[in-house]
Structure 1
Amino acid sequence: MTVKVACVGGGPAGLYLSILLKLRDPSHDVTVHERNPEGTTYGWGVTYWRGLLDRLHAQDPVTARAIEASSVRWNQGVAHVRDLTARQPGDEGHGIGRHRLLEILADRARSLGVHLDFEHEITPDALPDADLVVACDGVRSTLRARYADHFGTQISMGRNRYVWLGTSKVFDAFTFSFVETAHGWIWCYGYGFGPEASTCVVECSPETFTGLGLHRASEADGLALLEKLFADVLDGHPLRGRPSGTGGAQWLHFRTLTNRTWQRGNLVLLGDAAHTTHYSIGAGTTLALEDAMALAAALCEQPTLPRALARYEDERRRALLPVQSAARYSALWYENLPRYMQLPPQQMFALLGQRHSPLLPHVPPQLYYRIDRAAGQVETLRRLKRWLGPRVARTVQARSARPYSEGSVPRT
């Protein structure tokens, strides 16, 4: 069905949805409304994994190639604990600057005939005249907030404090640094997103936050303290807050958002307006783009708007269940960090990779590590047996057909 669609919010979700709709049917009338000037964004870089890139290539190779060409890659993780370092191989990860990602998506959308309407704020009292209005205006969505009772919006605040920073230090791996202070642990996650910059997210408990005086420090003093604490991994490079005029670096509590339903008449939620997952699993942008894929497919394959929205919501809710569970346990792991910091770095790093497990909070860390290691060895043997099984069977079958093959000739 041909539809007129208004996307409220010019982030990755809204832009990518507009691209997919025009690719599927150029007759769709699609407008993306963004309240900020073009090029305005927050944050630094975003992460994604090979699986998303494969899906992007399947949906729109032009966009996928542009994103891949502008991304950096890593396949290792590094953890610094006190003066010790552990390094482990991992899946191929990618980082891209948020500004560059939005630039790629906006250019592609324009080339397909999408209308991009910047510096135009849409309010609940003056919704666009469209068959479908897509609220993709983030976790603080004003459209969702107006109808929060209908959507059944619930927001839970994480315990820890975090701040989203940039640095000119270019990390060659996904880097963790855990620093013990007189007021508790503070840590950062660092990953590259371009040839000259990286994202650096710093997190700590509320007790450490106030103990270090970060609650009353100016932005400059706070950044100077963090640069001193993480000097070993920053190698003398500075930390940067948000560009001037966007409010500076802000320490936040992560807000986990869920909704009972994602639709109200011709208004539907997309991306962070519908759901959030803790930043420690690096899935926010991926989930937003996958939402866009599912909604575009449903709109083009279902005969009516109600059926399309029902299919979209059902499909994405089911896909989100394991991700949301992983995010909850990942956040809990960091909130209980001291429980794991007495382990040797290699063991701590191994459990860091297991932080999505629902069993980990209930099993002593040393015991869990031994069980997980033993289970890994058993699984390795199972894989080897599955790999060898058909080959051994084929060898036995071949030899039984050759009565005088080597090893079967009677001895004299």
Structure 2
Amino acid sequence: MHVKVVCVGGGPAGLYLSILLKRQDPSHDVTVHERNPEGSTYGWGVTYWHGLLDRLRENDPDSARAIEAHSVRWSDGVAHVGGLTARHRGDEGFGIGRHRLLDLLADRARALGVRLEFESELTRPPADADLVVAADGVHSALRTQHADRFGSRTTEGRNHYIWLGTTRVFDAFTFAFTETAHGWIWAYGYGYSGDHSTCVVECSPETFTGLGLDRADEGEGLALLEKLFADVLDGHPLIARPGAAWLNFRTLTNRNWHHGNLVLVGDAAHTTHYSVGAGTTLALEDAMCLAGALREHPRLPEALAAYGRTRRTELLSVQSAARYSAQWYENLPRYIHLPPHRMFALLGQRHSPLLPYVPPQLYYGLDKAAGQLEALRRFKRWLGPRAARALHARRH
């Protein structure tokens, strides 16, 4: 069935959905409208993990190969707490520049016949479109017009953060915690290219005002942050995009994800705290799910309802994890004075709903004991067949 689709917003969700729809049926008429000029983007690098790469390969091998080829990898996490350091081996992670990711997706979309209209802002759904996709971010104009229909709800986090870049290329996902006279301030850093890393800085409101970051201009603020994180930056500068500002993270949820032929994807539908590094992954998974629902359900209302039900259910666990992760950082004094290896272990457990209610030292001990039990169980499962074979050989 020939369908006219208009995607409002040229971020990862809108571009990837356009790719998947053209792959499913080249006769679909798909246009992506992006209000900004081509090549402009906010942010620095984005993160993802191997599970997403596997799903990208399943859905469109060509774009998956391009994304993987332009990504950097790491498998360690490093925490710097004052003058102490702890390193932990973890799952393989990937970083890619947001600008690079959007260029790759745009090139692939064009190759499949998608029309890309830059410097084209749509604030109302086109009347002649069969399907209108609101991929226009957390401040979506299309969603805001029907906020009551979508059941939109936004909550604001307590801490302040700013999204920066640096020429210091981190070889691991790096956490740096610095104590000041006004409380702790910390940074998350990860490489996304051969010459740049993302560096997100966060602190409590008391630290923010105590350090004067609320009154500093851009140059003064960057100079102060470079001084506070001098050890981890190793002489490299921090860089701000034009208009970069300190913000409070806004968590957005929507009770419904479609209204008529208008459907929400990506940050227009949901946001999850940046400390879980899932924003881009969830946006791409929205596109996969919506494309799948449109393929499986011939009638649009059933397809959009199925998409919304599926994604809201799938997001429950990650939204919970993001909520607890944000709270962990808001309650940092509870954990920061533990020995670094213990603090880092609980940093890895920050998604747990039990952690806020169990004394940190006790939780660490219980978690370590549970890990040892699980390791013993795995060893016994591995040993069982081998012991049985050895016993059988001796008997015969």
- Match in the other structure for 1:193: 192
Where does 1:202-213 land on structure 2 (aligned, <5 Å)?
Answer: 202-213=201-212
Equivalent in the alignment of 1:81: 81
Residue aligning to 2:320: 325
Shift of 1:303: 1.5
2:183 is the counterpart of 1:184: yes
The two structures, once aligned, show a CA RMSD in angstroms of 0.9
Tell me the residue number matched to 2:53.
53
- Of 359, 379, 390, which aligns to 1:384? 379
Partner of 1:196, secondary structure, is coil
Amino acid at match of 2:44: W
Q: Letter of the 2:369 partner, please give it.
A: A
Deviation per residue, 1:299-358 (Å, 9 max, x gap): 112121011111111111111111001000000000000100110000000000000000
Offset, 1:396: 3.2
- Partner of residue 269 from structure 1, selected from 261, 264, 268: 264
| Aligned mates of 1:123, 1:374 — CA distance in 2 | 55
**Letter paired with 1:211:** G
Letter in 1 for 2:114: V
Matching residue within 296, 299, 302 for 2:297: 302
Partner of 1:281: 276
Alignment partner, residue 25 of structure 1: 25
Which secondary structure state, in structure 1, belongs to the residue aligned with residue 214 of structure 2? coil
CA–CA separation in structure 1 for the residues paired with 2:198 and 2:127: 36
Match of 1:355 in 2: 350
Residue matched to 1:314: 309
AA in 1 matched with 2:110 = R
Deviation (angstroms), 1:128 = 5.2
> What residue identity is the alignment partner of 2:259?
R
- Distance in 1, matches of 2:285 and 2:172, equals 26
The worse-fitting range, judged by mean Cα deviation, of 306-315 and 37-46 is: 306-315
Aligned twin of 2:132: 133
TM (norm. structure 1) is: 0.95
Report the residue type matching 1:347 in the other structure. R
Offset of 1:235 from its aligned partner? 0.7
Matched, 1:257 2:256: no
Q: Which amino acid aligns with 1:14?
A: G
Partner of 2:8: 8
How far is 1:2 from its partner? 3.0
Give yes or no for contact 1:6–1:128 (8 Å, CA) kept in 2: no
The amino acid that maps onto 2:297 is: Q
Deviations along 1:268-304, one digit per CA (max 9) or x if unpaired, are 0001100110000000000000000010111112121
CA contact (8 A) 1:135 1:273 kept: yes
Equivalent AA in structure 2 for residue 120 of structure 1: S
Note the alpha carbon deviations across 1:126-158, whole angstroms, 9 max, x for none: 535211000010101011111001100000000
Deviation for aligned residue 1:398: 4.5
Distance (whole Å) between structure 2 residues aligned to residue 398 and residue 51 of structure 1: 41
Deviations 1:89-141 (CA, angstroms, capped at 9, x unpaired): 010000000000000000000000001011111012x5352110000101010
2:360 is aligned with 1:365? yes
Q: Deviations over 1:373-394 (max 9, x none)?
A: 0000001001111122223233
Aligned to 1:151: 150
TM-score (norm 2): 0.99
Q: Secondary structure at the match of 1:159?
A: strand
Shift of 1:395: 3.4
More divergent stretch after superposition (329-338 vs 299-308):
299-308
Checking the alignment, whether the CA contact within 8 Å between 1:329 and 1:357 is kept in structure 2 is: yes
Partner of 1:406: none
Counterpart residue number, 1:120: 120
Identity among equivalent positions (%) equals: 75
Partner Cα separation in structure 2 for residue 264 and residue 309 of structure 1 = 9
Code of the aligned partner of 1:343: L
Secondary structure of residue in 2 paired with 1:194: coil
Structure 2: give runs of 5+ residues left out of the alignment: none
Q: Aligned residue for 1:102?
A: 102
Work out the CA distance in 1 between the residues paired with 2:4 and 2:307.
18
Structure 2 residue identity aligned to 1:264: H
Deviation, structure 1 residue 3: 1.4
In structure 1, how many angstroms separate the alpha carbons of the residues matched to 2:240 and 2:29?
38
Contact 1:166 1:199 in 2 (8 A): yes
- The whole-number CA distance in structure 2 between the counterparts of 1:306 and 1:390 is 52
Distance 2:321 2:178 in 1: 25
Equivalent position SS for 2:158 = coil
